[in-house]
Amino acid sequence: MDFALSEEQQAFRDTARDFAQQEMAPNAAHWDENSVFPVDTLRQAAALGFAGIYVGEEFGGSGLGRLDAALIFEELSAACPSTAAYISIHNMASWMIDRFGNPEQRARFLPALTTMEHFASYCLTEPGAGSDAAALRTRAERDGDHYVLNGSKAFISGGGTSDVYVCMVRTGEPGPKGISCIVVEKGTPGLSFGKQEHKLGWKSQPTAAVIFENCRVPVANRIGEEGEGFRIAMKGLDGGRLNIAACSVGGARFCLEQAIAYTTERKQFGKPLNAFQALQFKLADMATELDAARLMLHRAAASLDAGSPEATAHCAMAKRFATDAGFQVVNEALQLHGGYGYIKEYPIERIFRDLRVHQILEGTNEIMRVIIARHLTGG
C-alpha cells in the first residue's frame, strides 16, 4: 500500500492546479453571478486532456485511470466546483461511448468530445424516476433502422447546450433489463428542451429537461445491445460518483484554506481567532474529516481501476462520506468567517451553494446507503 503519487500523477495534478488557479478561479464568481457556461475555458481544459481523462488515446483521450481523475477533479473544483462537475459529467458520457461503443461509434463521436468541440450530457433521471432509476418510462420503439423516442429527462446538465445526449430509454420489459443506451444528437427532429432551471448553485452549467416527441434516432446510435443500458448507466455512475466526491473534497479543501487564513488574520479580544483552542479544535476536525474523505476516495478509485468486486460499494461509500463531510467542512468554514462568510465578496457562500447538490446527484446519499447495505447483506 503506497500513498505516494507517481511523478506522472504529480505532474498532471500540478497542471490541473495551475490551470484552475489561472483560468478558472479569477472567473468563477462572474460565471456564478451571471450563469455563464464558460465554453472557451472548457475547451482550454480539453486541450490539456481533461475532456477525455479515461478515454483511450486512439481518439484523443488521455488514457488515465480513476485515481488520476480524482486528483484532477480535486484541483479543478478548488477553483470552481460547478465547472469541474460539468467536466466530470462530460467525461462520464464520453467514457460510456468509449467503453461500450463499437469502433464506428467511437470514431464518430469521440474526437469531437475529447476536444470539447462537442459537449456531452448524461440522461438518466426523469420527472417520475429519480432514485428509482430502473422505473424510467422514456420509450424507444423500433421502426426499421430507427428508434422512435417519446418521454423526457429531468435536471440534465448541459440540457439545451450539449451536442450529444447519452440517454437511457426503455426498449423492452419493465425493470432494468428492458433499458437500452442510445446517443441522441442535437438537432435531431423531435428533440427539444425545457426552460433553463434557476438553481441554488451549479450556475456555470446549464440545466434543463430533455424532451423526446416522436424523436427518430438511428439504431446505429445504440450503445451496446438492447437491454444493456441499465448496466452501462450504473458502470458510468461508479466513476461519476468518485468525481463528484473529488469535487466535494476540492471545494472543501479550498474553504478550509480560506478559514485558516481568515482566522489567522482576524483578531478578537486582542488575539487571532485561531489562537483560541475551541477554534483550533474546529480546524483540526475539519482537516481530519477532509483527509479521511480523500483517503476513502483514493481507495475507491484504486478499487475501480483494479476491477475489484468491491468497487461499486467502495464508490458508494466514498461518495456518501466525501459529499457529506465536504459540505460540513464548508459550512464550518462559513461559520468561522462570521458575517463575511455570508456575503458574495467572499467565495465561501458560492462553494457552499455548489457543494450542497453533491449530496443529491449521481444517486442521493440515501441511495448510497442502500447500495452499501445490499453489498453487506447480499440483498
> Which residues are marked as active site?
362
Which amino acid appears at position 172 of this protein? G
**8 A C-beta contact, residue 116 and residue 163:** no
- Shortest CA distance to 180 belongs to which of 131, 248, 123, 128? 123
- In a 3-state reduction of DSSP, which class is residue 165? strand
Which amino acid appears at position 150 of this protein? N
CA distance 240 to 238: 6
- Bridge partners (DSSP) listed for residue 139: 150, 170
50 phi and psi, to 5 degrees? -90, 0
Half-sphere exposure of 246 (CA within 13 A, CB side): 30
- Shortest CA distance to 222 belongs to which of 170, 269, 173? 170
CA distance 255 to 243: 18
Buried b (16+ CB within 10 A) or exposed e, 219-238: eebbbbebbbbbebbbbbbb
